[in-house]
């Protein structure tokens, strides 16, 4: 691949090497935004987002194509190659092999298709995981809320933002039964206040309620041994009665 990057300003080389390196699905929006910012500063964004014009052809009676048309076409081809090189160096080796022969516009369309397919799969997986996430009795409320919050953030990144009120409702409806009292108080208080709670506020309220829940660490083992002694004592008493 010809070394065209030195012709670009230093900021362009930094963007290509650092901010936009290793293009992949999760960072595609950041990658594209950085690329557009740089090309806009160079007045070359049109060469990325529009089709390359067709090569000039001879019109009847002409011995050579129009000089203006030929100059414009040559300039477009050159700019497209430079942009394509800038895009290629910011990709993984596998993507480079797949896309290195495409012009800038065609390369961008191919990347958009790839990202769209990846986003559809990621959206389906996220929705499934979100729906399956339930708080288990006795488990940390922090881990549960943070996991649910991560799914909300992921949906927003994929272009499907969850409203604040809906996010809170989804977290509440998947709580375990030990939070039933909290749910009742929460619904009554929020209905009376007419206030919309955000996830961070709900998280703090759930943490406070968690501290009021009874501890269940060593209780089952102690009850087991006590039950064993009581049962043994009862058996001995039955033998004594029968012996009499």
87-129 tens-digit pLDDT: 888 888 888 899 989 999 999 999 888 888 777 888 899 999 9
What pLDDT is attached to residue 197? 79
What pLDDT is attached to residue 176? 93
How far is it between the farthest Cα atoms of the chain?
133
**Is pLDDT larger for residue 232 or for residue 56?**
56
Min mean pLDDT across 1-10, 30-39, 125-134, 202-211 is at 1-10
Is the pLDDT reported for residue 237 higher than 90?
A: no
The residue extents of the domains of the chain are: 5-116, 133-212
What pLDDT is attached to residue 235? 44
Average pLDDT over residues 56-73: 76
Average pLDDT over residues 185-208: 82
**Is pLDDT larger for residue 2 or for residue 114?**
114
Query: Which pTM was predicted?
Result: 0.52
What pLDDT is attached to residue 216? 66
| pLDDT digit string, tens, across residues 9-62 | 544 554 544 444 567 666 777 788 888 888 888 889 999 999 888 887 766 766
Question: Which H or E run includes 70?
Answer: helix 67-88
Written as six digits, the tokens of 22 are: 């290793």
Burial 47-75 (b: 16+ CB within 10 A, else e): bbeeeeeeebeeeeeeeeeeeeeeeebee
What pLDDT is attached to residue 142? 93
Secondary structure (3-state) at 80: helix
Confidence of residue 196 (pLDDT cuts 50, 70, 90): confident
How far CA 71 is from CA of 7, 51, 74, 129, in Å, comes to 20, 17, 5, 55
Average pLDDT, the chain: 78
What is the number of residues in the chain?
Answer: 244
């Amino acid at each position: 691949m010809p070394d065209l990057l030195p012709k670009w300003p230093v900021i362009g080389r930094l963007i290509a090497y650092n901010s936009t390196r290793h293009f992949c699905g999760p960072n595609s929006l950041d990658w594209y935004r950085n690329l557009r910012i740089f090309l806009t500063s160079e007045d070359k964004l049109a060469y990325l987002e529009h089709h390359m014009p067709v090569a000039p052809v001879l019109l009847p009676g002409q011995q050579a194509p129009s000089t203006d048309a030929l100059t414009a076409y040559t300039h477009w081809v050159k700019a497209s190659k430079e942009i394509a090189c800038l895009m290629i160096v910011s990709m993984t080796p596998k993507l480079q092999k797949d896309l290195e022969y495409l012009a800038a516009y065609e390369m961008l369309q191919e990347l958009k298709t790839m990202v769209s397919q990846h986003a559809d799969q990621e959206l389906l997986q996220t929705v499934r995981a979100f729906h399956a996430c339930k708080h288990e009795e006795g488990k940390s409320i922090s881990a549960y809320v943070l996991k649910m919050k991560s799914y909300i953030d992921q949906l927003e990144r994929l272009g499907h933002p969850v409203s604040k009120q809906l996010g809170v409702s989804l977290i509440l409806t998947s709580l375990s039964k030990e939070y039933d009292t909290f749910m009742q108080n929460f619904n009554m208080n929020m209905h009376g206040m007419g206030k919309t709670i955000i996830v961070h506020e709900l998280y703090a309220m759930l943490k406070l309620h968690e501290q009021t829940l009874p501890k269940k660490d060593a209780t089952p083992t102690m009850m087991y041994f006590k039950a064993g002694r009581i049962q043994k004592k009862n058996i001995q008493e039955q033998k004594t009665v029968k012996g009499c």
